[in-house]
Amino acid sequence: MAELNIVLFEPEIPANTGNIGRTCVATGTRLHLIEPLGFRLDEKSLKRAGMDYWKDLDVTTYINYEDFLERNPGARIYMATTKAKQVYTEVHYEPDCYIMFGKESAGIPEEILVENQETAVRIPMIGDIRSLNLGNSVAIVLYEALRQNNFDHMRLEGHLRNYDWK
């Protein structure tokens, strides 16, 4: 079974993290938060964005990047960054991989990226757009990883409430 992991490096905006948490619950994905955070985990805006799903979230926090690495030895980590040379669809996401995203104001530090060049991926954009919203970026890359893993353990069809599909 695919057990993907989303890693947020020093996230700053509680609503983004709340939305990402909700996406993780909907996809059976674990969320990892590397401190310092730009908010408290009990903030109202975080819970509002995650709605009533936050209680179902598999979330782990780390005091820093080194703590994350120590507690996840051998993890295959893809670095989502606007600075990468390869597109997020050009790699194969293993069922237990980690996909890291940087903080909203600065991304993943370049000293980390330089150590992980072969797993750095980007979402294509036109012009000089700085970046997409963090929640949108997570959803784009996560759903590609899920697609590559055949949406393992996910419901693939929906149902109407008051009608039947023909």
DSSP state of 86: E
Token representation of residue 79: 């670095």
Question: What is each CA distance from 165 to 155, 157, 158, in whole angstroms?
Answer: 17, 11, 10
Known binding residue 34? Answer is no
Known binding residue 105? Answer is no
Known binding residue 38? Answer is no
Q: Is 94 exposed, middle or buried (0-12, 13-18, 19+ CB in 10 A)?
A: middle
Token representation of residue 120: 């750095």
Binding-site residues for S-adenosyl-L-methionine: 102, 123, 131
Binding-site residues: 102, 123, 131
